[in-house]
Amino acid sequence: MISAEQAKTAFPDEVVTRATNRLVSVPGLDKPVALITIDNGHDHTRPSTFGPQGLVSLNAALDEAFAAAPAAIAVTGKPFVFAVGADLDGVEQIASRDLAAQIAQSGHDVFRRFTESDIPTFAFVNGAVMGGGLELALSCHYRTLSDNTAAISFPEVFLGLFPGWGGTQLLPNLIGPDAAVTVIIENALNQNKMLKPAQAAELGITDELFGSADFLEESLRWLAKVVRGEHTPRRRAIDRGEEWDAAIGRAKAIVDGKTKGASPGANKAVELLELARTADLDTGYTAESEALADVLMTDPLRAGLYSFNLVNKRAKRPVGAPDKSLAREVGKVGIVGAGLMASQLGALFVRRLQVPVVLTDVDQERVDQGVSYVHEEVDRLLGKQRISPDEANRLKALVSGTLDKAAFADADFVIEAVFEDLGVKRQVFAEVEQHVAAEAVLATNTSSLSITDMAAELRHPERVVGFHFFNPVAVLPLVEVVRGERTDDETLATAFAVGKDLKKSCVLVKDAPAFVVNRLLTRFLGEVLATVDEGTPFEVADSALDPLGLPMSPLTLLQLVGPPVALHVAETMHTAFPDRYGVSENLKRFVDAGKSAVWTWDDKGNQQVDPEVAELWRQGDAPSSAEQVRERALSAIAEEARIMLDEGVVSEAQDIDLCLILGAGWPFWLGGITPYLDRSGVSEKVNGKPFLAPGVASVPAA
């Protein structure tokens, strides 16, 4: 156990979570209950975490509790928050494996006291509970949960780590191995999916679910029944044979499919879950501590924390955004287009802004289809009980469609999502400008065209802004906010305010071809396709980037984006930068043939090249190895990213990483792309220097 003096010396900047103990009289019990409250001294917007000093404080509170010889010991949190795990800021200060191992062991030492206590221990989970906070709750003998808890999860694997304070050993032995795989691995690798309170109760993570209004009182009454022996919570029988085998097999398949084995944390989580089948706490906790000490000192974990800070700090304070006081109020939204992208935007705007949304298109059938799509999305939310029937009716009533752009007369924000052609978009804005007020914002969802050129012939070009979403709109959290040469601060501030209200993360981008995400992905995909054109087998080229653990392979990305769109962007980029962006003649033939995918699958799920694609794709006789394809693609990305920074497309490399994480789903453990390029030496080789300062997103040099 780390000492108080060691903790204070090694982590002087820790925001300390204090654990205070008080004795509470409970009707029906002869002795009081020792109630430990976890509180970092801030409100719910800064949840309590455990650093070394916090663990020392919790240990001291336990000493007091045991000394009082109470009827039971219960632990709870400050309003709306139980605890959300380890202090991630402190992880970056760990400079040696010995210190990492000591901290890992300290967490086990403190939490285990709840598990091995002769006095009954209870966790009253009154709010957000994640990571180490959930492990603390699992370490107690019994658990209650407030029904308004907003966040319940093990996010560690998402970050490139694993639950290391008992989670991999306790959870499968409480709720079964398959459910534990879902919570620890599957949910984490699906964009850190959270459990709802009812789901946690159904899984058996909590013994009782109580209303938030009188949660503590109900929990104490329930505690008294348990202590008096009037109620015994049920525990499910655990199958340690075939069920455990199947769960581990599923875990391996998920990790392989999602990370291609590139995340050390995910791999270790599988190993530890397998160990939990037979291990006692000594064995299991020792394995967790040793593995945690190893992973904490790896670059992928530091890159994961770098990503976490980008998403949770930088994304919330966009660099270069004007003062938010300049933003105009948006009371009505117009959407030009009623196709799939426009309909997705309609559903998002009406749900988040809850203002009138009107869609237009060139014919009534398309308009009707767009409005119907939005209504279906509202019904889907209702079916999942995420909104009430009254709210569903209200949202549907806010959505309308028309052929007449005069309906935009009182709109404050109009966004177009029509065909990706500069002439078409210019015409759309010229028509819209005839009807809207002079201060109304005109936004474009263009993926590659110039905002400045689009606005050039308008009376008020200063109110045009790029507002580029990523597909699927409801899932990917990034919006690239693009400032044209004449976009004014009020328009830009309004765009950022709308993005925030839509619960999106906005990054300010200069008006440059394809902006950030599409520019890099087009360069990357173009290099891979070029190697196929030269003679590299499809299978070799498509799997060459597997060691990075990307969310999808290049040819799968081509299918998702849509070959016609990929070709259009490639042609746009070739026009802008002919020396770096090529246009594959094979891709043209592929599109002309109406093909949508390179791969087909047989009845057994085996992947193979579509014979028609193999026939039309004219390959050369200069194949590359997987390593050569990977080096070529990464070198191209490194070159393009450096050029983008030199051009001022974004302010810093951190914004490139943020865009790829949020807009393309690049893994946290890569830290976006620039930390990976730095670690692998590609940055130095291609550009003569790294993107990031030494120690950023990597283990500090000894």
pLDDT at 2 over 70: no
Q: pLDDT band for 601, please (50, 70, 90 cuts).
A: confident
Q: Is residue 313 part of a domain?
A: no
Q: Is residue 664 part of a domain?
A: no
Could you tell me if 76 and 12 lie in one domain?
A: yes
Q: What are the distances in angstroms from CA 88 to CA 48, 307, 555?
A: 12, 12, 36
CA pair distance 334, 330, nearest whole angstrom: 11
Asked which of 648, 663, 683 is the last residue of a domain, the reply is 648
Q: Is residue 672 part of a domain?
A: no
Asked which of 494, 510, 526 is the last residue of a domain, the reply is 510
Q: What is the mean pLDDT of residues 378-402?
A: 95
Q: What is the mean pLDDT of residues 153-165?
A: 93
Could you tell me if 439 and 554 lie in one domain?
A: no
Q: Which long-range contacts (CB under 8 A, 24 or more apart) does 482-486 make?
A: 482/451, 482/509, 482/510, 482/511, 482/515, 483/451, 483/508, 483/509, 483/510, 483/511, 484/450, 484/451, 484/452, 484/454, 484/455, 484/511, 485/452, 485/511, 486/452, 486/455, 486/461, 486/462
Q: What is the mean pLDDT of residues 574-594?
A: 95
CA pair distance 152, 156, nearest whole angstrom: 12
Could you tell me if 127 and 248 lie in one domain?
A: yes
Q: Which domain holds residue 553?
A: 517-648
Q: How many domains does the chain have?
A: 3
CATH code of the domain covering residue 225: 3.90.226.10
Q: Is residue 686 part of a domain?
A: no
CATH code of the domain covering residue 435: 3.40.50.720
pLDDT digits (tens, 9 = 90+) for 436-467: 999 999 999 999 999 999 999 999 999 999 99
Could you tell me if 471 and 361 lie in one domain?
A: yes
Could you tell me if 472 and 342 lie in one domain?
A: yes
Could you tell me if 463 and 526 lie in one domain?
A: no
Q: Is residue 659 part of a domain?
A: no
pLDDT at 296 over 60: yes
Could you tell me if 404 and 533 lie in one domain?
A: no
Q: Is residue 696 part of a domain?
A: no
Is residue 535 helix, strand or coil?
Answer: coil
Would you state the pLDDT for residue 94? 74
Q: Is residue 311 part of a domain?
A: no
Could you tell me if 179 and 277 lie in one domain?
A: yes
| Mean pLDDT across the chain | 93
Q: pLDDT band for 191, please (50, 70, 90 cuts).
A: confident
Could you tell me if 188 and 51 lie in one domain?
A: yes
pLDDT digits (tens, 9 = 90+) for 468-513: 999 889 888 999 999 999 999 999 999 999 999 999 999 999 999 9
Largest Cα–Cα separation, the chain: 86
Asked which of 248, 281, 297 is the last residue of a domain, the reply is 297
652, with CB counted inside 10 A (0-12, 13-18, 19+), is middle
Could you tell me if 236 and 370 lie in one domain?
A: no
CATH code of the domain covering residue 586: 1.10.1040.50
pLDDT digits (tens, 9 = 90+) for 649-671: 999 999 999 999 999 988 888 88
Tell me the H-state helices in 187-263. Answer: 187-189, 197-203, 215-227, 242-259
Tell me the H-state helices in 329-450. Answer: 340-353, 364-383, 389-398, 422-433
Q: Is residue 339 part of a domain?
A: yes
Query: 416 and 333 in contact (C-beta within 8 Å)?
Result: no
Would you state the pLDDT for residue 459? 95
Question: Averaging pLDDT over each range in 81-90, 340-349, 543-552, 600-609, which range is the top one?
Answer: 340-349
Q: Both ends of the chain: CA-CA distance in Å?
A: 24
Residue reference for tokens 């993926």: 447
Could you tell me if 99 and 246 lie in one domain?
A: yes
Q: What percent of the chain has pLDDT over 70?
A: 98
Query: 299 and 679 in contact (C-beta within 8 Å)?
Result: yes
Could you tell me if 348 and 478 lie in one domain?
A: yes
Would you state the pLDDT for residue 13? 65
